Structure 1
Amino acid sequence: MGRQHVSHDEIAAFAQDKVNLPKDKADEYRAQARRLREKLDGYLDEHPDFTLKKMLLSGSLAKGTALRSLNDIDVACYVSGADAPDDVQALLNYLAERLRKAFPNFSPDQVQPQTYSVTVSFRGTGLDVDVVPILYNGDPQWYGNLVSQDDGSFLKTSIPLHLDFAAKRRRAQEKHFAQVVRLVKFWARRMKQERDGFRFKSFMIEMILAKICDDGLDFSDYPEALQHFFTYIARTNFRQRIVFSDYYPIASVGTFSDTVQIIDPVNATNNVAHLYTTKNADAIVEAALEAGDAIDAALAAPTKQLTVGYWQKVFGSSFQA
């Protein structure tokens, strides 16, 4: 009944109009990051001993999951670990100093250390690039120690492998995997705005959807894919461990005592949800139950007005069909 009023096509149109970063903007931002990387590459060719080794676009823009609300770009910067400081603040100052040397046409205030990254501000577009340092010692798979955005600790990671992990799921469900990620991120962003203390990291959303994708769900029907996401959280009470075998055997994952366990697909010792308390998890389950109930009601609603009203419980008043 309700599906005749709001179906996959209406959700896809809403995503295009209200959720997704427009293609021209995405292209502009990627080009900006590419120019930054190319400038560094040129500098490295002339200064082969320079401690900055590689810049890689990372985050949602690199993975094709950026929302229309995107206001900064994430770039990973590999720093040769030999003489780089291992204190976070000293490392950020060290990185900022070397970025200023690599980009002498930038004024000093355009390159500023933050808590866990260095922000490079472009005056033309007004967009910020957050450069996150990774201490690197020559690993062929580009493993290194990243400054964690969670708590500032050093965390073993590989940006190329993370991007490869996401790309595999995008290839498995062309267009649809990334689109469903964006729709769920849009919902989570609204929950954060409306519910005090609500937290749900985008990377965790991606990992849950990667798990559902790997389990064989066809994402090409967006109402059904969204319902499966919310049902998975409700059914597991957000307490079921999620782990992948792309880059290490599942048997190598140790025991964790954390409430929520979503294991980093490139680092078997890192639970990306380790800071989530029972209260945080319960809040996500409650929100997922409400969203799932709203979708159920929307799919059964007898009128278009009722159907749209139920979808607005998921996506807010900007949803129109």
Structure 2
Amino acid sequence: MALSNTQLRYYDSNVLRLPADKRKEYHAQVDRLITELCKSVRDKTEIKITKVVKAGSFAKYTILRKTVSDPVDVDVVFYIAGRDVTKETLDSLSATIYDLLIKIYPTKSVEDFEIQRKAATVKFVGSGLSVDIVPVIEDAARPGYGWQYDIHDGSKIQTCAPCQIQFVRDRKNQDGDFRTLVRMAKKWRNYAEVKPLKSFAIELIMAHVLATQGKAGSIEQRFRNFLLYIAQSGLKEQISFPENTAPFGSFSDPVVILDPVYSLNNVTSRISETERKEIVTAAQDAWETANFASVENDNGVWKELFGPGLKVED
């Protein structure tokens, strides 16, 4: 049967969204790490941290609560001054951060720290929280901007963590259900195991659907519109936003979604043609299931999209 806005908001509040008490717990854990890391850095004259920003889905309020299939991670961006962006590498920055982390948490096993793409990761076993430490060399001429490195090819891209947070906040101000829709899309992605479709890409596709189709219709209808957009477009049309400014990149990747804060960065550059087809097929199947679920008097069909944890009322 069709799910009402009330039912889907219930599902979002009680199943999808990170609870307030957990958000507070994670904030405290991250704040302690930030404090200790900054304290350690003060003793190292060769590195200077000018700003620390919590980023990613946690800061955008689009994160899902922790389950077996939905891990919780927080990106923490450290803006670093006094480093030459043309001479620095991710390896050198990550090694410095890694050494500091080992000093802060000497009782933790080395396996708790992993060098991952663009970040060193701290995993707190107790809460299940993962914190990605993202070193960014600040651009002194542009507040909030800096250079971030890619661990695979050593390339660097400009980023602005506060701007990316503001991008989602602006969409939330346009549409009160924007974050709910993003969380629904992430839950579908996780349950369907559509791994090539990253969270940032989901946020941007949802923002594009909002920009092109508006916010008319029910939450359920608009979620189906999100799936239908992917299925019909095949993700073959380039997506950009009013925030994008020159210079613009020229891309030949199968999927092109411009980073709203840096038009030379294609957020989806790592999606292969095979993966594009996989995403489109999954969205087509999900759209058909959602349409069928909308007319069937059986919430069990919706569970084919969101998993057995779907709950829309007391």
> For 2:93 and 2:40, how far apart are their aligned partners in 1?
20
Q: Structure 1 residues 209 and 81 mapped into 2: Cα distance closer, same or farther (>3 Å)?
A: farther
Segment of structure 1 superposing worse, 263-272 or 240-249: 240-249
Q: Give the % identical residues.
A: 29
Q: Contact 1:217/1:225 (CA < 8 Å) preserved in 2?
A: no
Q: Secondary structure at the match of 2:116?
A: coil
1:273 is the counterpart of 2:251: no
Which residue number corresponds to residue 311 of structure 1? Answer: 302
1:178 is the counterpart of 2:179: yes
Q: Any residues of structure 2 matched to 1:1-321 within 5 Å, and which?
A: 2-3=1-2, 6-38=3-35, 50-69=47-66, 70-82=71-83, 86-98=88-100, 106-107=105-106, 109=108, 112=113, 114-116=115-117, 117-122=119-124, 125=127, 127-148=129-150, 153-174=155-176, 176-192=177-193, 198-218=195-215, 221-249=218-246, 252-301=247-296, 304-305=297-298, 308-321=299-312
> For 2:175 and 2:205, how far apart are their aligned partners in 1?
15
Q: Contact 1:141/1:161 (CA < 8 Å) preserved in 2?
A: no
Which whole-Å deviations, capped at 9, do the CAs of 1:254-302 have from their partners, x for residues lacking one?
431111110111111111111212211111111111111112112222x
> For 1:149 and 1:9, how far apart are their aligned partners in 2?
44
Question: 1:107 is matched by which residue type in structure 2?
Answer: P
> For 1:50 and 1:43, how far apart are their aligned partners in 2?
10
> For 1:142 and 1:231, how far apart are their aligned partners in 2?
35
Q: Which runs of 5+ in 1 are unaligned?
A: none
Q: Structure 1 residues 149 and 182 mapped into 2: Cα distance closer, same or farther (>3 Å)?
A: farther
> For 2:121 and 2:199, how far apart are their aligned partners in 1?
21
Q: TM-score, normalised by structure 2?
A: 0.85
> For 2:275 and 2:233, how far apart are their aligned partners in 1?
15
> For 2:123 and 2:272, how far apart are their aligned partners in 1?
35
Which whole-Å deviations, capped at 9, do the CAs of 1:105-143 have from their partners, x for residues lacking one?
532747845133223355764533210111224233222
Q: Which runs of 5+ in 2 are unaligned?
A: none
> For 1:259 and 1:287, how far apart are their aligned partners in 2?
17
> For 2:151 and 2:223, how far apart are their aligned partners in 1?
28
Q: Contact 1:110/1:120 (CA < 8 Å) preserved in 2?
A: no
- Deviation of 1:149 (Å): 6.5
> Cα RMSD (Å) of the superposition?
2.8
- Deviation of 1:81 (Å): 4.6
Question: 2:95 is matched by which residue type in structure 1?
Answer: N
- Deviation of 1:187 (Å): 0.4
- Deviation of 1:9 (Å): 2.2
> For 1:254 and 1:71, how far apart are their aligned partners in 2?
32
Q: Structure 1 residues 315 and 15 mapped into 2: Cα distance closer, same or farther (>3 Å)?
A: same
> For 1:83 and 1:259, how far apart are their aligned partners in 2?
33
Q: Structure 1 residues 27 and 151 mapped into 2: Cα distance closer, same or farther (>3 Å)?
A: farther
Q: Which has the higher strand share?
A: 2
Which whole-Å deviations, capped at 9, do the CAs of 1:46-79 have from their partners, x for residues lacking one?
9898522221101111000011124322111112
Q: Contact 1:119/1:128 (CA < 8 Å) preserved in 2?
A: yes
Question: 2:191 is matched by which residue type in structure 1?
Answer: R
Q: Secondary structure at the match of 2:80?
A: strand
Q: Structure 1 residues 151 and 21 mapped into 2: Cα distance closer, same or farther (>3 Å)?
A: farther
> For 2:233 and 2:123, how far apart are their aligned partners in 1?
43
Q: TM-score, normalised by structure 1?
A: 0.83
